[in-house]
Structure 1
Amino acid sequence: MSHIAPIDPPARLLMGPGPISAYPSVLRAMSSPLVGQYDPFMTAAMSETQDLYRRVWSTRNEQTFLVDGTSRAGIEAAITSLVRPGERVLVPVFGRFGHLLAEIAERAMAEVHRIEVEWGQVVPASKIEEAIVRVKPTLLALVQGDTSTTMNQPLDDIGEICRRHGVLFYSDATASLGGNAFEADAWGLDAATAGLQKCLGGPSGSSPITLSERATEVIRSRGRVEAGIREAGDTSAADFVRSNYFDLGMIMDYWGPRRLNHHTEATSMLYAARECASVLLTEGREKVIARHATAGAAMLAGVRGLGLTVFGDVAHKMNNVVAVEIPDGVAGDPARQAMLDDFGIEIGTSFGPLHGRVWRIGTMGYNARRDAVLTTLAALEQVLRRFGASVPTGGGVDAAIDTFREAAA
């Protein structure tokens, strides 16, 4: 039998829109020994992780836990569990991931209504309320931070609008949680989901979720209806949840005090999620958000210091990612590949109307720090010059250093 070499990934500085370089302590946590899913250590770790994520989400919601799978698993679990076939879902779209929420709602057999704004903008609260009045949805599904455009949708007024009109409010905070303000209770969220691979500084594969009492009752009431459907033997009825794996009613029972078996918890991902929350809360939630804001402001100043044009409404940009226009005459994909090949630094391209037009550069999680920002800007300057762009010598690094100094003053 031929020798199979152990896996040996190359050294990378992941400065794209995600995934990112994980905190070293998260990687160490993932290498911890496995235990059985009902071992007292395991169940205690699950309960502790729930409590930690209540603090991360800024909520008192009892139903705060993890969905095993990437952030998309959390999105699908939330939407398919909250929406019955034929119910109306309103999705404001300001980038690629709004379209994803709409697609998942359509697959859940909802009647989906979209409102759209130009990429690089956010959706005004007044426009959302007008659409709610017109559409009368059961659920509003809204991305907070959309990495395809780097925009951060304001949520603080939306919960009150939804309550006034009797609408459930769900937000996908995959790209924003941990690096931007998120106040689940204060903003009136009924459901929110995220992933570890952005500002939380972990690997993709676990999706934190929190559900309000109102959302929990919607899910429980649907479960009671389904129990009747099963008893009657008519599993073709419209109210029946199509997914077993993403049925939040069953997952809540698994994470709850009864520990009803639903799946085998992904132990190593539980360790990772717990450590991601621990890092954030040990440093201090507000301090971590401020660190992301400072690193993001330094990267923004740095790319401008190189003479690059920033895409979108910067006033509504996420702290943790910036999109820059690729300079005329520079081959975007080969230049991005040179960053990877020559410097071991990954930055991102984009999707749809922005593909080939912008690069997306992230400063999140473990990489929301001074040396990562400065190293990326120094490498970008060299690559831009090699690909024919005229850029100020040291302009990016100098501007970023000034920003870090101002923040520390």
Structure 2
Amino acid sequence: MQPLSLPPRLLMGPGPINCYPRVLQAMSTQLVGQYDPAMTGYMNETMALYRQVFNTQNQQTFLIDGTSRAGIEAALVSVLEPGDKVLVPVFGRFGHLLTEIAERAGADVHTIEAPWGEVFDPQQIEDAIKQVQPKLLAVVQGDTSTTMLQPLEELGAICRAHDVLFYSDATASIAGNPFETDVWQLDAVTVGLQKCLGGPSGSAPITMSDRFVDVVRQRQHVEAGIRDAHHTDAKGARIRSNYFDLAMIMDYWGDERLNHHTEAATMLFGSRECAVALLTEGQDAVLQRHQNAGQAMLKGIQAMGLKPFGDLQHKMSNVVGVYIPDEVDGEQIRHDLLNIFNIEIGTSFGPLKGKIWRIGTMGYNARQDAVLHTLQSLETVLRRSGCKLSAGAGVDAAMAVYANAAANGKGSL
């Protein structure tokens, strides 16, 4: 039995990505007891840090122990009762995920769909809200399956006008694309670490407005015995999950520290360091770095003669879809990149399976050397597979993006 020995991969797919070294270092810290003042102090500090990450004043901002999907499930199962109407605008795989989780919570789920590669106009969503009259609007901001970024800025006001709760999964987009919880009037947001925040999967930061918390707390009263267990499938049903019961988790993170679980301390340390890294560099600087890397990758791909996927006006800054040239085997190209150059790019699924690659520029990997190395290596593999490409065109185009950014005072690498 040998120690772990993994190859030195450069993860340039849609996530997960290589962690910031400082995050890995933080996660090697020795443990203390879960109620040690040092531990609870770092829990409080982490809550404060993530209020800044989410751009919110929400008191109820903390971590769900689990992957980003755990955060989604906690939010939906804690607020939705059987029969509650939910509206999910679906423009990729993760809209279908929200739909499935809401259905498992017993909700009456209604969907509207946009073709993969497109997003919704706010009016389409408002029209659907008027028709469905849901309790909750559940939207993915950035869907890596399509590389699209759904505009959220107008949806909060629409939801308030129709007395609808507004939830978003921003796992793939936060820190690499603008996100304003309070300004956009979101009621709940969940994310993960393994994209632009530059950490490992395994912790799901969440923030909730007072409106959202009030609904969850009402269900906690049911749990306390206002209704007996024989009526849990009716309106007023208690929260169906113990682990993902946000009312109980709020009490655990709150001043009372009511025991619910043993906090995943190592993930707490990593989550805290992701936030510290973001806020130390500065949110605007990190956004600019992602924009530069994403634009450089896009321009490099185009200069190589490859075609990007989808509506580029609504593309996420941190991932680009690329049509696989007809003359090559897409999986063989990925295999050669991985095994010759130690670079991983993403495949796709659903209606895009076998049609596009997905190339990410996220977190620690949203930097010039990673972009240039990926473009040069992809060009080499493609040329050796028979594609006729202009040598160096992709790298030259990407370097021009960085040079222009530097000349305009936006030179974060």
Between stretches 237-246 and 344-353, larger displacement belongs to 237-246
**Which string of whole-angstrom CA distances, capped at 9 and with x for unpartnered residues, describes residues 60-118 of structure 1?**
00000000000000000001111111000000000000000000000000000000010
CA contact (8 A) 1:63 1:252 kept: yes
> In structure 2, what is the equivalent of residue 154 of structure 1?
151
Structure 1 residue 16 and structure 2 residue 22: aligned? no
Matching of residues 277-296 of structure 1 within 5 Å: 277-296=275-294
Give the counterpart of 2:55 among 54, 58, 80.
58
* Distance in 2 (alpha carbons) for counterparts of 1:367 and 1:324: 18
**Aligned with 1:179: secondary structure?**
coil
Root mean square deviation of aligned Cα: 0.8
> In structure 2, what is the equivalent of residue 131 of structure 1?
128
AA at the equivalent of 1:317: K
> In structure 2, what is the equivalent of residue 37 of structure 1?
34
AA at the equivalent of 1:227: A
Give the counterpart of 1:207 among 198, 204, 207.
204
Between stretches 133-142 and 387-396, larger displacement belongs to 387-396
**Which string of whole-angstrom CA distances, capped at 9 and with x for unpartnered residues, describes residues 288-311 of structure 1?**
011100100000001011100000
Matching of residues 6-405 of structure 1 within 5 Å: 6-229=3-226, 232-234=228-230, 236-238=232-234, 239-405=237-403
- Give how far 1:407 is off: 0.5
* Distance in 2 (alpha carbons) for counterparts of 1:240 and 1:211: 19
* Distance in 1 (alpha carbons) for counterparts of 2:253 and 2:232: 28
* Distance in 2 (alpha carbons) for counterparts of 1:275 and 1:131: 40
- Give how far 1:392 is off: 1.1
AA at the equivalent of 2:159: C
**Which string of whole-angstrom CA distances, capped at 9 and with x for unpartnered residues, describes residues 11-32 of structure 1?**
0000000000000000000000
**Which string of whole-angstrom CA distances, capped at 9 and with x for unpartnered residues, describes residues 210-237 of structure 1?**
000000001001111221256x453644
- Give how far 1:360 is off: 0.3
CA contact (8 A) 2:120 2:150 kept: yes
> In structure 1, what is the equivalent of residue 410 of structure 2?
none
Indicate the percent of aligned positions where both proteins have the same amino acid: 64
**Aligned with 1:234: secondary structure?**
helix
**Which string of whole-angstrom CA distances, capped at 9 and with x for unpartnered residues, describes residues 29-75 of structure 1?**
00001111001110000000000000000000000000000000000
**Aligned with 2:111: secondary structure?**
strand
* Distance in 2 (alpha carbons) for counterparts of 1:229 and 1:330: 64
**Aligned with 2:258: secondary structure?**
coil
Q: Is the alpha carbon distance of 1:15 and 1:233 closer, same or farther for their aligned partners in structure 2, counting shifts above 3 Å? A: closer
* Distance in 2 (alpha carbons) for counterparts of 1:211 and 1:351: 32
**Aligned with 1:169: secondary structure?**
strand
* Distance in 2 (alpha carbons) for counterparts of 1:180 and 1:151: 11
AA at the equivalent of 1:216: V
AA at the equivalent of 1:377: L
AA at the equivalent of 1:262: H
AA at the equivalent of 1:176: S
* Distance in 2 (alpha carbons) for counterparts of 1:328 and 1:249: 53
* Distance in 1 (alpha carbons) for counterparts of 2:82 and 2:259: 27
**Aligned with 1:76: secondary structure?**
helix
* Distance in 2 (alpha carbons) for counterparts of 1:31 and 1:259: 25
* Distance in 2 (alpha carbons) for counterparts of 1:233 and 1:75: 25
CA contact (8 A) 2:82 2:233 kept: no
TM-score after normalising by structure 1: 0.98
- Return 5+ residue gaps in structure 1 as ranges: none
CA contact (8 A) 1:229 1:240 kept: no
AA at the equivalent of 2:90: V
CA contact (8 A) 1:291 1:368 kept: yes
**Aligned with 1:178: secondary structure?**
coil
